[in-house]
Amino acid sequence: MKFTNYFLSTRERPDRAIIKLNWIERVILTPEFETIQADGRIRRWARIIEHENRYLRVVLLDDAETVHNAFFDRGFKP
């Protein structure tokens, strides 16, 4: 996986450090939901059973492979 500098810097936060890279890869490869932002970035969500069934949102750049952001989306409603 490729990452933006923004993503790498946010990984230092305790709430983001707990997000496993294999969870991010799972969301990228098998999303349950996907939307495209106006700027071309791609939002993908998938439920992470191992983390209280919460939805992980992964934001990719428009190349569909560079991770820009990843976080548990408290406000997401499927």
| Structure confidence at residue 4 (pLDDT) | 98
Instruction: State what percent of residues in the chain have pLDDT above 70.
Output: 100
Q: What is the mean pLDDT of the chain?
A: 97
Interval 33-63: pLDDT, tens: 999 999 999 999 999 999 999 999 999 999 9
Of 41, 7, 37, nearest to 24 (Cα)? Answer: 7
Which residue type, as a one-letter code, is found at position 63? D
Structure pTM? 0.95
The predicted structure's pLDDT at residue 34: 98
- Distances 67 to 6, 29, 55, 77 between C-alpha atoms, Å: 9, 12, 16, 22
